[in-house]
Structure 1
Amino acid sequence: MARNFLKSSLQNASFNIIFQILFRCVTFGLNAFVLRHVSQSVVGVMNVRLLLLESTILFLSREAFRRACLSKTTEHNWAQVINLLWLTVPLCQFFSFIFGYIWLHVLTPPSTDITQHYTLGVWAICLSCVIEMFCEPVYLVAQAFLFVRFKVVLDTIHIFVRTATFTPLIIYQPHQAVVAFSVAQVLAACVYTVGHYVYFHYYITKLMKKRAAQKMIDSNGKPPVNLRFVRRDSIAEIEDEFPFESLMDFLPAKIEDQLSINYGLSRLTWSFFKQGIMKQVLTEGERYIMTLFSVLTFSEQGVYDIVNNLGSLAARFLFRPIEESAYFYFSQMVARDTTIQEQNQKHMAEAANVLYQLLRCITCIGLVILVFGQSYSCFLLYLYGGESLIMGPGPTLMRTHCLAVLLLAINGITECYAFATMNAAQLDKYNYLMAILSVSFLVVSWLLTKAFGGVGFIVANCCNMAARIGHSIQFIQIQYLNTEFKPLRGLIPGPYFLITLVSVFMITQISQALFFEWFKLLHLGVGVICFVSVTISWAYEERELVSLAIQKWATKSQALKQE
């Protein structure tokens, strides 16, 4: 039975969003509490300097492998894929040593007045990264075989363990925040890695028993009741497609009469790796500028990071799950080395429609964030960190960041489609463009930050995103040039929605000027009413999509009741 990639991608995105919203609400409250116990300088050390180290090591160690090995998973020789994925462990160890040394001996360390535990923090990050690499083969198998709920639950546990460990330690020892941060990082990495192997040990053990029991199915073809634990579409699908029979199959091994590693996947991984270096610079460029050139103090970095985290909430719990699921879906549906006209037209129509709907929804969400962000940035910062966050440049940073969120949303979908469907030659060509963009971005960031402070980072990031969007749009236009499909029209929202947004912008600006200082709840109430109005206008514009979603939900609910 063929896997339903669209259904699983939608499930993956929806479960991700639900759990991310739930736990981001929890961590939002905990972080707001922590901000009242930890200085902004320490926040700058942990959330900018140390988390940049983690991001750099993890991205360079595994991102290229993930993107390459999630392409056309139904055609993989999994023994070769597992061997390839285990290369992430020594690669991570290499990067941990190199970047750990740079962070300790090349970069300017924070003064002892800020923290005395910087060295511990650096090595804790390196250790946690290496620990996480040991579950990379299992992680990718879970992705490829559509273990949607498992992935989301384990990601949520990872966040929960880290937050639940860090927060109590901060309460009792606020001056040892970096120690608490280090303990939380290592413990969360251990739980995350062990969790993968524990689950698959349980799953494979049960699966082997079910395969044995299947031989005892009675003559009418109905399986015993105890076979119904299986979470996939059917027992036959698992038996036919799931190739692992023990945890030992997840370890590297020599393959008889075959190459140990698929060199086609290796070349694709190398292409993604070269591209990944540039993408990492573009994604974390402002943090590299802060870290390498010290254009902001640790305290200013802390404020910037707080604003950036708040401004990126939508990107983290909404856009990123959608992008991950969309990348997986498009990589399975659209072949890299074949034109659209030469592929299955039914599949291409579905893929084009999915891209259209994604662009339409993402653009609308981004515009809503941009409009409401102009009037409610102060309110959000006040709620999160109190008066101290709204007295300085925080509100201006937040308002500017809302524009970056819109561009980030559009870039995420257009670029994930491009990456999922480009062939190796196109990826290599794109690497050169990324190199140019990376250098330009760093130069522009440095110049604008010197002139405008933290806002300069955000403006430079907007320029970077706009350039990447332009390239991805050009790629999609060329790909669909001689076809009947027009997925890029999804970038243009409906007229009623746009008119409502303009009206809401003016109303909320007036409310900000009149009510925020003396009656914040009234200002919030105006925003709620305006948001409902925008939602209604969007639902009217997208009534076909809303109707389809309601029908799907009703059908699923009815099926669950019948079971």
Structure 2
Amino acid sequence: MGRNILASSLQNASFSIIFQIFCRCITFAINAFIVRNVGRDVLGITNVRLLLLESTLLFLSKEAIFRAALSSKHNKQCNWAQLINQLWITVPVCFVLSIPCLYVWLNWLSTVDDYYYVQYRFGCYAIAFACVIELTAEPPIFISQVFCFVKLKVIMDTAHIFIRSCVFITIVLWNKNITIYAFGIAQIISAVTIIVGNYAFFYFYIPRLLRYRNELKRVDDKYELRKTFGNVYENMEDFPFNSIKDMVPGVLPNSNSPFNSDLQTLVFSFAKQGVLKQVLTEGEKYVMSISPVLTFSEQATYDVVNNMGSLAARFIFRPIEDSSYFYFTQTIARDVTLSAQNRDKVKEASLVLSYVCKTVTSIGLLGFVFGQSYSGTVLLLYGGMDFVEGGLPEVLLRWHCLAIVLLALNGITEGYMFATNTSKEIDTYNYYMAFFSMAFLMLSYQLTNWIGPVGFILANCSNMGFRISYSLYYIRNQYKEIGENPLRSFLPGPLFLSTLIGCGFICKISETYCRSMLYHVLVGALCTGTSLLTWSFENRQLLRAGLTRYRERKTSLTGETTIG
């Protein structure tokens, strides 16, 4: 397609970061309201138990299929009809998975108090129903990502979280005793929003695109066409859909088999890996739910601190990881050695990988250093004196700041590995993932029994350390054959690290001796600004390259018709 994959990936990351900030602010406000007014037990049930059910169903149902479909660009034998059929498989898969999951959630996991059980049961059924119907929107969501409809994704994600939050808050304000009912109802309504919004966009967009194509055949004045049709992408001749009916399985013409065998093989490889990755991602919640090591109140405390400690991951790391994965899948072919691919693209991918690793690691180190001095301040402002009483939340958050550094590097390196692995390499890594998963679960259970909730964080750090080591080994070996090494300069420089250490000592002294919270926060802001300026100076070449990319993209947007 005539589009700039790197520019679209960067734009997607930028918009996603903004959306994540908006989303997390709303979620944090709701959680703070529940902690202060409803109770921690309810928060533990909704944010740990019910959201774990949603995460399990959605991840296992669609992650492997979606990732494999994104990689199909390099498979010339895979057509759009086969991709649409593949994406619709997520709906029956989710329905089938929901049956055993609901049985486990209602009968096998640690018991819920009788006072909340009826609401909890409704919440489980509501989550399962919302997941099944939400997956009917996977085809338009996939199409919008492949054709780089970045703004559509941001608008729909924002509408999804906004409507869900409004419905939830409205019901809770009306009656605080039905908070779990409100949670389930809000999930269903937000799923309907995703479905209607995505299909409605293409319902109105496709006829407009068809009219544009017809005019393009008759008129050579593209300026006049842009005035008439606005931001319709002029290189969309390969857009295969003539109506939203084409997004239903079996409608697009297809002379081949309904499903592509190579794509199926890749899906099964990702599926085996997905189960293990889900255990690694949500392992502590599974341990909490299966074994009574923590009460629902303690689970809520851990979840709040975990979410707060994961702000950087949710705001910045995850959007960058998703956009980087998309960029690498479109730039590097899976089943072709790097020496046989386009040298310029491979070199660009190497530079992007190095720069992204350096950037996210620097952000992780900032969070770790300043988190040691400002964890108590943030938690006090968030949950009040009752929440921080005893000191457990502050200890958890400080330890979680250590996990941020590892989380930053693991997301990018493992994302690159998944984007460029062959099916055989993915299967090989699955064995390692199985070992990591078992080690993580055993460490989580044992360390939690020994030292409490901090054990979850230490087990997670050990797990990420193993995964990072394997990813770095893979990257180094892959680029060895062409004489490139993206790992040569993927860590922050000495000037930034020295400044960060000095600022960390200053903030610790401020926390100990400064009685005013305002002065303490001002000291932190000054040290953060100093650290950022140092990083900018040390990485001025990277910033210049980013600015050049931005200017080139702005120039291309003013000189050509681009996506809407």
Query: Normalising to structure 1: TM-score of the pair?
Result: 0.95
What is the root-mean-square deviation of aligned Cα atoms in Å?
A: 1.8
Structure 2: which amino acid aligns with 1:300? E
- Number of the residue aligned with 1:470: 469
Match of 1:229 in 2: 230
How far has the Cα of 1:222 moved from its partner?
Answer: 5.4
DSSP 3-state at the match of 1:252:
coil
**Counterparts of 2:557 and 2:331, CA distance in 1:** 29
Is 1:246 matched up with 2:248?
A: no
Does residue 519 of structure 2 align to residue 522 of structure 1? yes
Deviations 1:159-193 (A, max 9, x none): 11111211222223122110111111111111011
Residue in 2 that maps onto 1:372: 370
Whole-Å separation in 2 of the counterparts to 1:413 and 1:354: 11
What code does the residue aligned with 2:398 have?
A: R
2:486 maps to 487
Q: Quick check: 1:126 aligned with 2:124?
A: no
The code of the aligned residue for 1:543 comes to R
| Structure 1 position 537 matched with structure 2 position 534 | yes
The match for 2:511 is 512
Residue 420 (1) aligns with residue 419 (2): yes
Q: Distance in 1 between matches of 2:471 and 2:493?
A: 23
Change (3 A) 1:548 1:37: same
1:126-173 residue CA offsets vs partner (Å, 9 max, x unmatched):
011001110111111111111111111111111111112112222231
The 2-side partners of 1:550 and 1:263 are apart by 43
Number of aligned residue pairs: give it: 556
Asked if 1 retains the 8 angstrom alpha-carbon contact of 2:123 and 2:183, the reply is yes
Letter in 1 for 2:225: P
Q: What is the SS of the residue equivalent to 2:230? A: coil
Partner of 1:493: helix, strand, or coil? coil
1:502 corresponds to which letter in structure 2?
Answer: I
Q: Secondary structure at the match of 1:258?
A: coil
Please name the residue that 1:88 is paired with: 90
Q: Equivalent residue for 1:452?
A: 451
User: Which residue in 1 is equivalent to 2:210?
Assistant: 208
Question: For the Cα contact (< 8 Å) 1:37–1:170, is it kept in 2?
Answer: no
CA shift for structure 1 position 115: 5.4
Give the whole-Å Cα distance in 2 for the aligned partners of 1:82 and 1:38: 44
How far apart in 2 are the matches of 1:404 and 1:161? 32
Q: Deviations over 1:295-353 (max 9, x none)?
A: 10001000000001111111112111111110011011111112211211100000000
- Greater shift, 136-145 or 521-530, is seen at 136-145
Question: Hey, what does 2:406 align to over in structure 1?
Answer: 407
Does the 8 Å contact 1:89/1:130 carry over to 2? yes
Secondary structure at the residue paired with 1:335?
coil
Aligned to 1:50: 50
- Per the alignment, do residues 490 and 164 of structure 1 end up closer, same or farther by CA in structure 2, a change over 3 Å counting? farther
1:40-119 pair list within 5 angstroms: 40-73=40-73, 75=76, 76-114=78-116, 116-119=118-121
Letter in 2 for 1:243: P
CA shift for structure 1 position 551: 4.3
Q: Deviations over 1:525-550 (max 9, x none)?
A: 10000000000100011111223334
Secondary structure of 2:480's aligned partner:
coil
Match of 2:3?
A: 3
What residue number does 2:149 align with?
147
Pairwise CA distance, 1:562: 9.2
**Structure-2 separation of matches of 1:560 and 1:221:** 13
Alpha-carbon separation, structure 1, partners of 2:245 and 2:96: 25
| CA distance in structure 2 between the partners assigned to 1:363 and 1:499 by the alignment | 15
When residues 146 and 224 of structure 1 are mapped into structure 2, their CA distance, relative to the original with a 3 A threshold, is closer
1:336 aligned residue: 334
Structure 2: gaps spanning 5 or more residues: none
The alignment status of 1:502 with 2:497, answered yes or no, reads: no
Rounded Cα–Cα distance in structure 2 between residues aligned with 1:53 and 1:449: 22
1:390 maps to which residue?
Answer: 388
* CA–CA distance in structure 2, aligned partners of residues 139 and 256 of structure 1: 21
Q: CA deviation at 1:227?
A: 4.2
Q: Deviations over 1:77-104 (max 9, x none)?
A: 0001101111111000001111011111
Corresponding residue number in structure 2 for 1:157: 159
Native 8 Å contact 1:214 1:223 kept in 2: no
Deviation string, structure 1 residues 475-499 (Cα, Å, up to 9, x no partner): 0011011333221134321111000
The aligned residue for residue 356 of structure 1 is 354
CA distance in 2: counterparts of 1:270 and 1:66, whole angstroms:
12
- The 5 Å alignment of 1:548-559 reads 548-553=545-550
Query: Amino acid of the residue matched to residue 448 of structure 1?
Result: L
How far has the Cα of 1:27 moved from its partner? Answer: 3.6
Offset at 1:559?
A: 7.7
> Percent of aligned pairs with the same residue?
46
Over residues 352-384 of structure 1, what are the superposed CA-to-partner deviations in whole Å (9 max), with x where a residue is unaligned? 000000001011000000001111111111111
Structure 2 CA distance for aligned equivalents of residues 562 and 142 of structure 1: 23
Report if aligned partners of 1:115, 1:178 keep a CA contact under 8 Å in 2: no
Please report the TM-score for the alignment, with normalisation by the length of structure 2.
0.95
Q: Given residue 246 of structure 2, which amino acid in structure 1 is its aligned partner?
A: D
Amino acid of the structure 2 residue aligned with 1:32: A
Q: 1:310 to 1:166 in 2, by over 3 A?
A: same
Which stretches in structure 1 are left out of the alignment for 5+ residues? none
Amino acid at match of 1:521: L
Contact 1:358–1:490 (Cα < 8 Å) also in 2: no
Which of 239, 264, 267 matches 1:266?
Answer: 264
Which secondary structure state, in structure 2, belongs to the residue aligned with residue 215 of structure 1?
A: helix
Contact 2:81 2:254 in 1 (8 A): no
Given that 2:355 and 2:490 are in contact with CA atoms closer than 8 Å, whether structure 1 keeps it comes out as no
Letter aligned with residue 378 of structure 1: G
The alpha carbon displacement at 1:200 in A equals 1.0
Q: Determine if contact 1:42/1:115 at 8 Å carries over to the other structure.
A: no
Query: Does the CA-based 8 Å contact 2:317-2:411 persist in structure 1?
Result: yes
Kept in 2: contact 1:304–1:394 (CA 8 A): yes
**Corresponding residue of 2:189:** 187
Q: CA deviation at 1:25?
A: 2.9
Distance in 2 of aligned mates of 1:552 and 1:390 = 45
How far is 1:48 from its partner? 0.5
- In structure 2, what residue type is equivalent to 1:505? G
Aligned partner letter, 1:131: I
Deviation at 1:194, TM superposition (A): 1.2
Contact 1:109 1:118 in 2 (8 A): no
* Aligned equivalents of 1:180, 1:558: Cα separation in 2: 48
